[in-house]
Amino acid sequence: MELEGVLLGMGNPLLDISAVVDDEFLQKYDIKLNNAILAEDKHKSMYDEMSAKFNVEYIAGGATQNSIKIAQWLLQVPGATSYMGCIGKDKYGEEMTKNSKLAGVNVHYYEDENTPTGTCAVCVVGGERSLIANLAAANCYKSEHLKKPENWALVEKAKYFYIAGFFLTVSPESIQLVAEHAAANNKIFTMNLSAPFICEFFKDAQEKALPYMDFVFGNETEARTFSKVHGWETDNVEEIALKISQWPKASGTHKRITVITQGADPVCVAEDGKVTLFPVILLPKEKLVDTNGAGDAFVGGFLAQLVREKPIKECVRAGCYAANVVIQRSGCTYPEKPDFE
């Protein structure tokens, strides 16, 4: 099976500024654990304060980019994955490019001359993370970049697409172009609910993309928010997963499968009108470093098997393996070689 360029991701490339902080810091900046938000004015000073006050690590991140790198790591075929997004022409941007190329991902960044590379504060307390993203250059991605022949060639070549819901705030038109291409060419288009605020405040953009989604990923909090926003009056994750899988589709070639993770609880997979639960690999609390990138890693592991046309059970198993590796390390990082059987 020809794997080169098989998987293409598009999203917001961000440099994670990660630190173990304290409750006082969370309160000061009104931060809730296990959440992901966009930075507001009140958050502007927190990045410098984190660097000054806590032991900070800089890790190349951004949800989609994390998933693509994990898939690349598991596939172990150079250039099996590609990625597009917007960075600044600066030190952080150069680091990001170097990091991604080392990871074996074929990156085609759009470089914005006037805006710095985006950053994401990762605040960790008791192993749980909260994300506050300052998109900066990541917010400047334009569909004109996607349409350039050398970039559109990546779309033509790919058979699978993954875009985190976060990209709906940046370039819905790029998402639409790729989604329509996938539907017209019987390719697999996948997205993530990504965060409660996406389901709440970008509901229209999300609904426009949903008919094209062959796989919908998310966690239990996002699923419940999606349910609330659509007036479904249920908090039952299995019911919600089922309802999302039954949402009308743009193309009848592939059915939709919904995959919802629930932290230490089983992964919930809805397809063909039924739900299957898959237990995760449980980790003793003392081995947990932080949950940053756990959901991204799950998706990356899942996709690495999906592109090899493995059964869903194997995709979930690989997703759980990748998430288990990542939560024992800081940020979405991994050892040199996977030992997934």
Active-site residues: which are they? Answer: 296
DSSP letters for 93-149: HHHHHHHHHHTT-EEEEEEESSSPPEEEEEEEETTEEEEEEE-GGGGG--HHHHHSH
CA of residue 177 relative to chain centroid, distance: 19
CB-based contact 117:96 (threshold 8 Å): yes
DSSP for 215-249, please give it: EEEEEHHHHHHHHHHTT-----HHHHHHHHHTS--
Residue 54, Cβ neighbours under 10 Å: how many?
A: 17
Q: Which residues contact 102 (CB under 8 A, 6 or more apart)?
A: none
d(C-alpha 116, C-alpha 166), whole Å: 19
Longest dimension (CA), the chain: 54
Residues 6 or more apart whose CB falls under 8 angstroms from that of 321 comprise 281, 301, 338, 340
- Residue environment code for 192-207, b if the CB has 16+ CB neighbours within 10 A, otherwise e: bbbbbbbbeebeebbe
Phi and psi of 9, rounded to 5°?
-115, 150
Contacts of 91 (CB under 8 A, 6+ apart): none
Nearest partner of 124 among 35, 13, 28, judged by Cα: 35
Q: Which amino acid is at 48?
A: D
Q: Where does residue 310 fall: left (phi above 0), alpha (psi -120 to 50 degrees), or beta otherwise?
A: beta
CA atoms within 13 A on the CB side of 202: 23
